[in-house]
A = this chain, B = another copy of it.
Amino acid sequence: MTMLDERTKKILYAVVENYINFPDPVGSRTVAKSYSFGLSPATIRNVMADLEEMGFLLQPHTSAGRVPTDMGYRFYVESLVAESAFLHKEPLRELYKRLATLRDNIDILFSETTKTISTLSHYLGIAMSPKPEVTTLKKIELLKYKDDKIAAILFTDEGMIKNKVISLGAEVTQKDLNRIAGYLNSEFSGHTFDEIRQKVVQEMSKEKIMCDRLISRALKICQEAFYFLYGDLFVSGLSEVLDLPDFTDLNKIKELSRAIEDKHTIIKLLDKLSELDGVQIIIGSENSMDEMKKFSIVVSACKEGDRPIGVVGIIGPTRMNYSKAIYIVDNTARFITRILAER
């Protein structure tokens, strides 16, 4: 990381903070006045010119003040994280009370969590249940549904319940289903969905096993049941962000709405992030998705031991109140982690 002397840093932080609070390019005069450095605007100007040269700031046009670049925000955020500035605040427990009552129904819990996050932050709240790769099966139940159709109910260790209707092509009795379920549970419970998929493919290639009608049927059911299950992504608060001065540009709105409608790419991104610990921050162009290069993401995984059981976070403009965002995300993730652990 580039080394900056203390004074230069302070001025950079001042610019960033001022811009976060007031969405106008900030000039040397403003910095000199509001942050009592005991320096004249002229000196500040020199420093700001240096900062611009180094790529931390830029001028929208010659006669305007400066605005942080993504690199500028990054530098600022690193200092926040280093000082854990966001930890010095009150926890939000009060506001989460309602969420605690939803602990047993994880989908609703996550979707409500996004609403809480978005009203708290005035940015987009996001939450995602774990990706199937790491979801471990607790129990599978098979219920006769109608004619040749059965319902497979999958219980995961993370507390999700997924159900899927499967057409078998031939009627099966509930008794048989119970035996099949018993077999599947003994074989697969405790394994991740990914492992199960692989195992199924392996097993199905063995001829001996496939001769057993029951087992072969069981494996086919399994293949169906675990096919194309993915983490659910919840997003809310679009109307919140539309009130921000950052979103007066119609194109930016379009990009954002395209990004959140094409959930797939966001899911992929969050999947990656869900493996890391603590609050993760991605600022503007650091983002690999094109549609997201004008936005920042602040997320944190909820973990049970080492296993991720969900991700919560915020999407907002790069001109985001990172301190507040980190604080909210960190608190929420800890809270969700806690109530899911107590479950």
Q: Taking beta carbons and an 8 Å cutoff, which residues of A are in contact with B? A: 104-105, 141, 143, 145-146, 149, 151, 153, 155, 161, 163-167, 236-239, 242-243, 248, 250, 253-254, 257-258, 261, 343
Contact = CB atoms under 8 A, between A and B. Distances in A.
A104 B238 contact: no
A167 B248 CA distance: 47
A161 B155 contact: no
Contact of A250 (B155, B163, B248): B248
Contacts of A151: 153, 155, 161
A37 to B, nearest CB: 38
B164 A155 contact: no
Contact of A239 (B143, B258, B343): B258
Contacts of A105: 164-165
Contacts of A239: 254, 257-258, 261
Contact of A153 (B143, B164, B236, B253): B143
21 contacts: A104-B166, A104-B167, A105-B164, A105-B165, A143-B153, A143-B155, A145-B155, A151-B155, A151-B161, A153-B153, A153-B163, A161-B163, A163-B163, A237-B261, A238-B257, A239-B254, A239-B258, A242-B250, A242-B253, A242-B254, A242-B257
A49 to B, nearest CB: 35
A250 to B, nearest CB: 7
A156 to B, nearest CB: 12
A253 B248 CA distance: 11
A261 B243 CA distance: 14
A293 to B, nearest CB: 17
A242 to B, nearest CB: 5
